[in-house]
Structure 1
Amino acid sequence: MKSRHSFWSRAIAVIFLVAMSLSPAISAADPATPNFVVFLVDDLGYMDIGANNPNCFYETPNIDRLSESAMRFTDGYAANPVCSPTRYSMMTGKYPTRAGATNFFSGKRSGTFNPAPLTSHMPLDEITIAQTLKQRGYGTFFAGKWHLGESEEYFPQNRGFDVNVGGHTGGGPYTGKRYFAPFQNPQIEVESPDGDHLPDRLSRDAASYIEANKDSPFLVYLSFYSVHTPLMGRPDLVKKYQAKAAAIEGVEFGEEEQVLGNSPRKVRVLQKHAVYAAMVEAMDQAVGKVLKQLVESGVADNTVVVFTSDNGGLSTSEGLPTSNLPLRGGKGWVYEGGIREPWIIRYPGVTNPGSVSKQPICSIDLFPTIAAAAGIEFDHLVDGVDLRPALEGRSLDRKSLFWHYPHYSNQGGIPGGAIREGDYKLVERYEDGRVHLYDLASDIGEATDLASEMPDRVAQMRDRLHAWYQSVDAKFLQPKDGAVPWQPAFRETLEN
C-alpha cells in the first residue's frame, strides 16, 4: 500500500514540475502577485459549517479556523441554485444567463411547461480566470468536479489550467467505486490504491502542487465532488455520527411547496444524517490538509484563500441529507436555502482575522477580485465587482443582485427569478408571473410575503429585474401541449 502511494505521488510531482517549468518565473513572495487557493464545495449549504451555525450537527474545525483567520460573509450567494451555472460564473465573472447556461449540464426536465433553451457548456470564447492568471505567469491547477462541458475541448486543461486532476463532464463521482478507489475517473492519470478516499486524494494532489510551485505564483482551484450524491461516507466517520445522531431527538422532516404536483414536498428540518455528516467532515479534513501545506511551504502569508459552495444544501430530494433552516428551500430553489452560500475569504494584509461582513456578494465576484489582487487589468465585460472594498470593511458600490432559473429542478424548486436590493428580495414565478416580496432583515425564512403591502417597491424592483432580463437576453419557459406559460411583456421585442 505504501509503495503504491509513493509511486503515484512521485508521478504527479513530476507532472507538476514539468508544468511549473513551462510558466514564466515570477516570485511568489511579491505581494503584487499573491497566490490563490479556491475551495469550491459541491452542494454544501450555508448552515452546514460551524462558522455559520453554532448548532451545526456536522463538525468542520478546519473551515471554522479558516473563518477565524479571515473574513466571513453572512450574505454571500451563488449565481444560480444549481451547479454548472455557478461554476460558469466563478470562471468568467458573468451571470450565466448571458450564455444561456441556466441549469446544470444538461438538465432539461419538463413540468407544466417546457424549460427554457439550455446551453450545455461554457462557450470556448469565454475568458476564464485561469487563462487570465496564466497570461500573467501563474501556474494553474484544477482538481475535482468541473461539469462545464460535454467533451474534452471544454475540460480544464483546455480552459487555462496547466494541470487537471479529475475534472470532466460528470456532475458527480459516478465512475468506478464513486468516492472510493479505484475511481476510474477519465481525467485522473494515476489511479489511487484501492480504498483511497476521493476528497483526500484531491487534497493530496493540491498540496503536492503547492509544494512544487511555492517559488512562483499559482492558482490552486480545488473543486470538491463532495458533498454531492451519491451519499457515501468513510465507515469510521459514519459510525461516529450514527452515535451522535442517536442522541438527537426531534422532528426530522417538514413540508415545502410542490411545483410538480399538488401534494406538499418533504423537506429536512433537522440536521441528523450520519452519512452526509461523514462526507462534510471528510471534506473539512481535506481543506485542512491544503491549508497546512500552505504553512509548511512558507506561502500562507502571500496566499488569498477563498472558500464557498456552488448552490444550497440538498434538502428536498435525493435522500434529503441536510437542513438549511432557518433558510427556506435548498438546492434547486431561488429561495435563500438554494442560493445563499458559505463565503470565507482570507486575504493577508487586507482582511482582519475573525471579521464578519454583511455585504451581499456573489460568485460572479470571484473573477474581478482575483484579477484585481493579481494586478491584472482586463477590458472584456464582467458582471461581478472587485470585493476589496468589502474585504477592507467598506461597502460595495452595487445596487442589485439577480437570479434567473427557468427550469424544473428535480429538487422541486420553482422556475423563477429573483432580485435583491438592500434587505429586500423579490421572487418572480415563471409559470404564472406571480411575485413575492420579502424583507430578509426580519424574515430570513421568507415566510411573510409583503408584496400586497408594498406595491410601489414591488413595481420598482420588478422593473429593474425585467430590465436585467433584457440586458442578458434571458430565455423563459416554453409552451407544452398547447399550454402557454407567462412571459415578460418585453419578450416579443427580444425575439424580433
Structure 2
Amino acid sequence: MNRFFVFIGALVCSITSIHAAEPVADKPNIVFFLVDDLGQRDLGCYGSTFYETPHLDRLAKEGMLFTDAYAACPVCSPTRASILTGQWPQRTGITDYIGAPLRPNDWKRNTKQLPAPYSDRLDLSSPTLAKSLKGAGYATFFAGKWHLGPEGWWPEDQGFDINRGGIDRGGPYGGNKYFSPYGNPRLSDGPEGEHLPDRLATETASFIEANKDRPFLAYFSFYSVHTPLMAREDLKTKYEDKRKRLGLEEKWGREFERDVRLVQDHAVYAAMVEAMDQAVGKVLTKLDELGLRDNTLVIFTSDNGGLSTSEGWPTSNSPLRGGKGWLYEGGIREPLLIRWPTRIQPGSVNTTPVSSPDFLPTLLEVAGAQPEENQILDGSSLVPLFRGETMPKRSLYWHYPHYGNQGGAPGAAMRHENWKLIEWFEDGRTELFDLSKDIGEQVDLAGQEPVKAAQMLQELRMWQKGVGAKHSIPNPAYDPSKPNGRAAKRPDPQSKR
C-alpha cells in the first residue's frame, strides 16, 4: 500500500483556483459516478497494486483526489438517500439497506439488540438532486442501481427524466445477473452475454450525446462491484495469471467473530473493478468526443467501504480497519475524485473530511439551482475547496442501529478533526482513535483521553437528538448460550476466487 503515500507525496501542492481562458457556461454539465461496495483502496490512485484502474487514475491526475471522504453509512441505501437529499440518513428514515427486516418484531437472529425500525423507501415528497436540477433546466438521467424503494418510488418518480435499470433490487439479481438477459423491467435485454457495466455506460454516453446542447445530469449508479461475484472470462483469466505472477498468497485477520481479508488477490473481484473502470472510461471518452469535457463537472465515489468480512470476502481495505457494514474506517472511508477542468487544479489532493450530504449543496451551487423552500441541508458545498480555500471545521457523524450481514453491530460514530469516536450499543463501550497517528484504528485511547471521549460522546448525543435518530433496543429473547449470528465461515482457500 506504500504506493498510495508515494502518490500523495508526489501530488501534494498548493490547491489554487484555476482561471478559465474563456467564460464557463452558467450551467455546467454534471456526471456523477456512484460505485456499489467499492473500497477506497480498490483504485490504483489510492494504492492498489493488484487491481488496475487506468481511467480513474487519469481522472485523479486531471482533478482533485480526496483522502478523507466518507459515506454517510456503512451500507448502501442510507448513503444513496443521503447523496440525493443532502441530508443525514436519519432524516430520511432510511438507516439500513432496504430489504433488511423493517421492524424489531421481524428480527429472528439471536443478537443482543433488536435493530431500530427504518423506512424502506425514499419519500416522494423528499427534495432530491434530480428534482432541483430539473427545475433549473437540466435534463436528468439515471442508470444502474437505485435500491430506494418499490415501483412507484423509482428514479422517474424522484426527478429523473430517464431511468435505465433503476429498480428496487440491491444487486443485478434478475436474468443472468451481470450478463444479458438481465430480467430488469427498466433495462431491455441486449445480445446474449452483453456485460452490464458496459451496457450502462453505453446508455449514459447515448444520453449525453442526445443532450449535448443543453445542461444535463447523468447519474451513473453502478451495480458493480456488488455481489454476485461475476466477471468477464478474459479479465478473470488476466488476474488469475497476475496473482500467480506476483506470488500473492491469502492473508487473514480477525474482526471480532469475522475473518477479514488483508491482501488484495481476488481475481474475480479484480476483474469486476477493471470492468467498472472501463465503463467510466467509455463515458469520459464520450465527453471528450463531444467537446464537453471543460464544461462538465465529474464526480466519482462509492456508497460504503469494500466488502472484506463476508459474502465472498472479495477485497482488502488494509491499512483501513474492517469493511462494509462496520463503523471502522474500512466501512465508511471512500474514494472521491472530482474533475472540473476550468475550476479545479489538476493533480490536487485535498485532506478535508467530507461526506455524502455535501454533494447536493455542492451541485446546487455549481448549477445555480436553489434548494426547495424549507429544505434541510446537512451538507456543505465543496466549491470553496475547488478554489483552493478551506471550509469551516466541523464534525461528521454516523448512526447505524442495525446488524448488517458483514459482522458489525449497532453503533454510532463521529469524527472531529483527527479524532474519531465509536460507541457500540450492545454494551455502551466507546472507542477513541487519533486518525492522524493510527489510521488503522488499533490503539483505543478512550481510557487515556476520558475528557475528550466524554466531550465527543456528548456532541454525538446532541446530533442524534437533532436528527431524530432511532435506537436499537435490548433483545428480550437473546440467548447467550446460542450462536449470535455475527460469525461466518470464510471461503475455502482452494475455492474459486
Same fold (TM over 0.5): yes
Aligned to 1:474: 469
Could you list the per-position Cα deviations for residues 383-429 of structure 1 after superposition, in whole angstroms to 9, with x for gaps in the alignment?
Answer: 00000112222221241000011111110012111000000100010
The answer to whether 1:163 aligns with 2:137 is: no
Does the 8 Å CA contact 1:248/1:272 hold for their aligned counterparts? Answer: no
Tell me, in whole angstroms, the C-alpha distance in 1 between the residues paired with 2:173 and 2:304. 20
Tell me, in whole angstroms, the C-alpha distance in 2 between the residues paired with 1:202 and 1:481. 47
Q: Secondary structure at the match of 2:412?
A: strand
> Does 242-251 or 303-312 show the bigger shift?
242-251
Aligned to 1:488: none
Instruction: Give the partner amino acid of 1:49.
Output: L
Within 5 Å, give how 1:326-345 maps onto structure 2.
326-345=319-338
Within 5 Å, give how 1:15-94 maps onto structure 2.
31-53=25-47, 55-94=48-87
The answer to whether 1:121 aligns with 2:114 is: no
Tell me, in whole angstroms, the C-alpha distance in 2 between the residues paired with 1:457 and 1:251. 41
Tell me, in whole angstroms, the C-alpha distance in 1 between the residues paired with 2:66 and 2:24. 27
Does the 8 Å CA contact 1:47/1:56 hold for their aligned counterparts? Answer: no
Aligned to 2:483: none
Q: Secondary structure at the match of 2:280?
A: helix
Aligned to 1:14: none
Q: Secondary structure at the match of 2:46?
A: coil
Aligned to 1:362: 355
Instruction: Give the partner amino acid of 1:437.
Output: L
**Residue 251 (structure 1) shift:** 4.9
Match of residue 383, structure 2, among 357, 368, 388: 388
Structure 2 residue runs of 5 or longer lacking an equivalent are 1-22, 102-106, 480-497
Tell me, in whole angstroms, the C-alpha distance in 1 between the residues paired with 2:213 and 2:225. 33
**Residue 433 (structure 1) shift:** 1.0
Tell me, in whole angstroms, the C-alpha distance in 1 between the residues paired with 2:225 and 2:81. 19
Could you list the per-position Cα deviations for residues 64-85 of structure 1 after superposition, in whole angstroms to 9, with x for gaps in the alignment?
Answer: 0011000000000000000000
Tell me, in whole angstroms, the C-alpha distance in 1 between the residues paired with 2:450 and 2:170. 41
Within 5 Å, give how 1:473-492 maps onto structure 2.
473-481=468-476
Instruction: Give the partner amino acid of 2:183.
Output: Q
Instruction: Give the partner amino acid of 1:130.
Output: A
Q: Secondary structure at the match of 1:161?
A: coil
Could you list the per-position Cα deviations for residues 324-379 of structure 1 after superposition, in whole angstroms to 9, with x for gaps in the alignment?
Answer: 00000000001000000000011232211010000001111110000000112224
Aligned to 1:318: 311
Does the 8 Å CA contact 1:46/1:313 hold for their aligned counterparts? Answer: yes
- Name the CA shift for 1:359/1:243 in 2 (closer, same or farther; >3 Å): same
Does the 8 Å CA contact 1:330/1:337 hold for their aligned counterparts? Answer: yes
Tell me, in whole angstroms, the C-alpha distance in 2 between the residues paired with 1:147 and 1:163. 16
The answer to whether 1:205 aligns with 2:203 is: yes
Aligned to 1:305: 298
Tell me, in whole angstroms, the C-alpha distance in 1 between the residues paired with 2:477 and 2:38. 39
Aligned to 2:17: none
Tell me, in whole angstroms, the C-alpha distance in 1 between the residues paired with 2:389 and 2:304. 26
Could you list the per-position Cα deviations for residues 302-341 of structure 1 after superposition, in whole angstroms to 9, with x for gaps in the alignment?
Answer: 0000000000000000110000000000000010000000
Instruction: Give the partner amino acid of 2:45.
Output: A
Aligned to 1:491: none
> Does 345-354 or 73-82 show the bigger shift?
345-354
The answer to whether 1:267 aligns with 2:260 is: yes
Does the 8 Å CA contact 1:272/1:322 hold for their aligned counterparts? Answer: yes
The answer to whether 1:236 aligns with 2:199 is: no
Could you list the per-position Cα deviations for residues 222-241 of structure 1 after superposition, in whole angstroms to 9, with x for gaps in the alignment?
Answer: 00000000000000000000
Match of residue 439, structure 2, among 444, 464, 467: 444
Could you list the per-position Cα deviations for residues 102-145 of structure 1 after superposition, in whole angstroms to 9, with x for gaps in the alignment?
Answer: 11002135422210111111111111000000011100000000
Could you list the per-position Cα deviations for residues 133-181 of structure 1 after superposition, in whole angstroms to 9, with x for gaps in the alignment?
Answer: 001110000000000002x211001100000000000000000000000
Instruction: Give the partner amino acid of 2:155.
Output: P
Instruction: Give the partner amino acid of 1:209.
Output: F
**Residue 432 (structure 1) shift:** 1.2
The answer to whether 1:410 aligns with 2:408 is: no
The answer to whether 1:186 aligns with 2:179 is: no
Tell me, in whole angstroms, the C-alpha distance in 2 between the residues paired with 1:403 and 1:50. 28
Q: Secondary structure at the match of 1:137?
A: coil
Instruction: Give the partner amino acid of 1:289.
Output: K
Does the 8 Å CA contact 1:233/1:275 hold for their aligned counterparts? Answer: yes
Does the 8 Å CA contact 2:24/2:342 hold for their aligned counterparts? Answer: no
- Name the CA shift for 1:51/1:149 in 2 (closer, same or farther; >3 Å): same
Does the 8 Å CA contact 1:428/1:435 hold for their aligned counterparts? Answer: yes
**Residue 93 (structure 1) shift:** 0.3
The answer to whether 1:423 aligns with 2:418 is: yes
How many residues align? The count is 448
- Normalising by structure 2, we get a TM-score of 0.88
Instruction: Give the partner amino acid of 1:142.
Output: F
Tell me, in whole angstroms, the C-alpha distance in 1 between the residues paired with 2:249 and 2:114. 36
**Residue 483 (structure 1) shift:** 6.1
Does the 8 Å CA contact 2:325/2:405 hold for their aligned counterparts? Answer: yes
**Residue 482 (structure 1) shift:** 5.4
Tell me, in whole angstroms, the C-alpha distance in 2 between the residues paired with 1:249 and 1:235. 21
Instruction: Give the partner amino acid of 1:474.
Output: A
Structure 1 residue runs of 5 or longer lacking an equivalent are 1-28, 259-263, 485-496
Q: Secondary structure at the match of 1:59?
A: coil
- Name the CA shift for 1:415/1:69 in 2 (closer, same or farther; >3 Å): same
- Name the CA shift for 1:415/1:251 in 2 (closer, same or farther; >3 Å): farther
Instruction: Give the partner amino acid of 2:55.
Output: N
Identity %, equivalent residues: 54
Does the 8 Å CA contact 2:255/2:322 hold for their aligned counterparts? Answer: no
Aligned to 2:144: 144
Match of residue 196, structure 1, among 178, 194, 197: 194
Aligned to 2:98: 105
**Residue 445 (structure 1) shift:** 0.3
Does the 8 Å CA contact 1:116/1:476 hold for their aligned counterparts? Answer: yes
Could you list the per-position Cα deviations for residues 37-62 of structure 1 after superposition, in whole angstroms to 9, with x for gaps in the alignment?
Answer: 00000000000001111x43100000
Tell me, in whole angstroms, the C-alpha distance in 2 between the residues paired with 1:230 and 1:482. 33
Q: Secondary structure at the match of 1:153?
A: coil
